[in-house]
Chain A
Amino acid sequence: MTNELNLGGSSTRPTGTITSTNLVCTNTSTKRKRTIDRRRLINAAVLALVLAGIIVALLLLAGCSGLQAKPLMAAKIDNNAVCAKIAQATSQPVGEAKTSLHVNALALEGYYRASTINLFAYWFSDKEIFCTSRYYKLLQKMAISSAAWDLNATKNKYSDATIQALLKEEYLWFGLVKNARDGVGE
Chain B
Amino acid sequence: MTIIELKAKLPASLQSWANIYGEDILAMSGEEIRNLIILLAVGNEFGAYNLLCEKMPGLAAVAEAQAITAELEAANKGNADSIALQRAAGTALLRVFLVLALAVAGF
Binding site for B on A (CB under 8 A): 50, 53-54, 56-67, 132, 134-135, 138, 141-142, 145, 148-149, 152, 157-163, 165-166, 169-170, 172-173, 176-177, 179-180, 183-186
Contact = CB atoms under 8 A, between A and B. Distances in A.
Nearest to A155: B57
B68 A138 contact: yes
A157 B57 contact: yes
A38 B9 CA distance: 91
Contacts of B20: 161-162, 165
Contact of A54 (B57, B72, B97): B97
B79 A67 contact: yes
A163 B78 CA distance: 30
A162 B24 CA distance: 10
Interface residues of B, number: 38
Given A141-B68, A157-B57, A159-B58, A64 B75 contact: no
Contacts of A158: 57-58, 61
Given A60-B87, A152-B57, A169 B76 contact: no
Contact of B69 (A61, A149, A163, A173): A173
B77 A152 contact: no
B100 A50 contact: yes
Contacts of B19: 161
Interface of B is mostly: helix
**What are the 3 A-B residue pairs with the smallest beta carbon separation, nearest first?**
A185-B80, A162-B58, A60-B90
B82 interface: yes
Contact of B79 (A53, A148, A180): A180
A60 B71 CA distance: 26
Contacts of A58: 90, 94
Nearest to A135: B75
Nearest to A54: B97
A118 B81 CA distance: 23
Given A66-B82, A185-B76, A176 B58 contact: no
Contact of B61 (A64, A132, A166, A179): A166
Contacts of B33: none
Contacts of A162: 20, 24, 58-59, 61-62
20 contacts: A57-B93, A60-B93, A63-B83, A66-B75, A66-B79, A135-B75, A138-B68, A152-B57, A158-B57, A161-B19, A162-B59, A166-B61, A176-B72, A177-B72, A180-B79, A183-B80, A184-B76, A184-B80, A185-B80, A186-B80
